[in-house]
Chains A and B, each alone.
Chain A
Amino acid sequence: MYIGVFDLFKVGIGPSSSHTTGPMRAAKSFADQLESDLILEDVTRVEVDLCGSLGATGRGHLSPEAVMLGLLGEAPETVIPDSVPSTIHEIRSTQVLLLGGRHRIAFREDDDLRMKPLTRLSFHTNGMVFRAFDEGDGLLSQRTYYSIGGGFVVEEGVEGLVDEASPEMVPHPFATAQELLQACDRTSRTIEELMLQNESMWRSRDEVTT
């Protein structure tokens, strides 16, 4: 898997990429999926478990706030940090959340957002389970995500990163520093020249360099 410049230098909100940016991206992906599965409007309640390290230190890292923002459909790149406190305050005081930015559901943080520090999911300690229920409390959808560091998120049972285009084909693939140095040797180019060519596969040069 090729990981490019823009995957690593992502705009995120503080304080933690794995505990804030990642959960926000996971929650947004869950809301987006409900929308694309055409079941968003049937949802009356959403339940979220933050497991392992997220459950242990999530409060200090603003993970609950990040999850709420994500459910609203906010993305780490575009959310306006200064508006976050009032948005969160409104959800907490009205106990209402606009799922995917448009569908009203009741959301009682104390019951619906649960910290489970002792639950360690198999794949990675930063596990998150999202469930959506309909009026009769029937389970509409359940998805498990992992925040694997740096704001990267993967979904259980799904290949690749959530929300990240990662084309496999680049002119100079490398998995280790040795391969990278060999590629430099072979092509008599510098590391930055190879990287620029890789990035240019799916972005214009100007886009890469701004």
Chain B
Amino acid sequence: MEACIAKGCRTSGILPGGLRVARRAAELQRQLEAEASTADGLAQMDWVTLWALAVNEENAAGGRVVTAPTNGAAGIVPAVLKYYVTFIDGASEEGIITFLLVAAAVGSLFKQNASISGADVGCQGEVGAACSMAAAGLAAALGGSPGQVENAAEIGIEHHLGLTCDPVNGLVQIPCIERNAVAAAQAITAARMALHGTGTHRVSLDQAIKTMKDTGADMQDKYKETALGGLALNVVEC
């Protein structure tokens, strides 16, 4: 994951496939390094954005990534993990392991009880599930109780319910690359929100996963990785 972020941060140019989508990570890294001294309270978020973009640009270019849980959503878990490693005082090797074990536990719940395929349930199953996994991983690494961790995972998916998969030209670029950056930020918000609570909450993770499955079943095929609806229809190639 680390190697993929590093490669993605170094490489600029245009992504293959004909949409002429420019790779942004390298330029963003230059900007962030230049701004390093400013006292912007949200500067950390920009770095998380950078890491997520880097992974997904690598993916769009056919590079090597780690599915987490899928390729299209592969930027979220590494970006949030790197946030933990980079910005959390007292981050440790043990914490990283905890993060990944818990993220995988949550991922397996999605896989067993619903789906992690955009062609099955839309993007809620890819980016939504990844956000939920990352939120749970971070909450656990920061010392959350099982209840708080489950809450973080639940917040992470709940606000992706209904999300369609409508990649322009069938390429994993628009909306996918940016969407990973936004979902990484949401995962951090979800984890922090859950850690400020007691772990007791109204909607359970199981209910949210079931809702995702049901919503996916109701979703028309044109919103399931077929590039026949949504953005894929309205953003025409010029």
Binding site for B on A (CB under 8 A): 1-5, 7-21, 52-53, 56-62, 81, 84, 117, 124-126, 147-152, 174-178, 180-181, 184-185, 190-192, 194-196, 199, 208-209
Contact = CB atoms under 8 A, between A and B. Distances in A.
B113 A175 contact: yes
B112 A9 contact: no
Contact of B71 (A20, A84, A174, A180): A20
A192 B117 contact: no
Given A12-B71, A124-B120, 6 more contacts: A8-B108, A12-B64, A15-B171, A56-B170, A57-B227, A117-B226
A24 B31 CA distance: 38
A62 B67 contact: no
A125 B101 contact: no
B26 interface: no
B109 A149 contact: no
Contact of A21 (B67, B145, B228): B67
B154 to A, nearest CB: 8
B146 interface: yes
Given A149-B119, A177-B109, A195-B102, A12 B170 contact: no
B158 interface: no
Contact of A190 (B106, B140, B169): B140
B206 A150 contact: no
A179 B107 CA distance: 15
B104 interface: yes
Nearest to A62: B62
Contact of A3 (B62, B77, B111, B228): B111
Contact of A177 (B103, B116, B206, B228): B206
Contacts of A18: 70, 117-119, 225
B167 interface: yes
Contacts of B101: 5, 191-192, 195-196, 199
Interface string B195-218: 000000000111001000000000
B105 interface: yes
A14 B73 CA distance: 11
Contacts of B61: 14-15
A181 B200 CA distance: 12
Contacts of B17: 60
A90 B142 CA distance: 50
B68 interface: yes
Interface of B: 17, 58-72, 74, 77, 93, 97-98, 100-109, 111-113, 115-120, 125-126, 136, 140, 145-147, 149-150, 153, 167, 169-173, 204-206, 209, 221, 224-228
Given A57-B167, A191-B149, A15 B97 contact: no
A154 B228 CA distance: 26
Nearest to A124: B120
A176 B210 CA distance: 10
A9 B119 contact: no
A4 B66 contact: no
- Most chain-B Cβ atoms within 10 A of its Cβ — which of A8, A124, A148? A8
19 contacts: A3-B112, A11-B67, A13-B65, A14-B172, A15-B61, A21-B71, A57-B225, A57-B226, A57-B227, A58-B170, A60-B17, A60-B169, A60-B172, A149-B115, A150-B117, A177-B150, A191-B101, A191-B140, A192-B98
Given A125-B224, A178-B204, A17 B149 contact: no
A163 B65 CA distance: 19
B109 to A, nearest CB: 6
B108 A14 contact: no
- Most chain-A Cβ atoms within 10 A of its Cβ — which of B108, B149, B171? B108
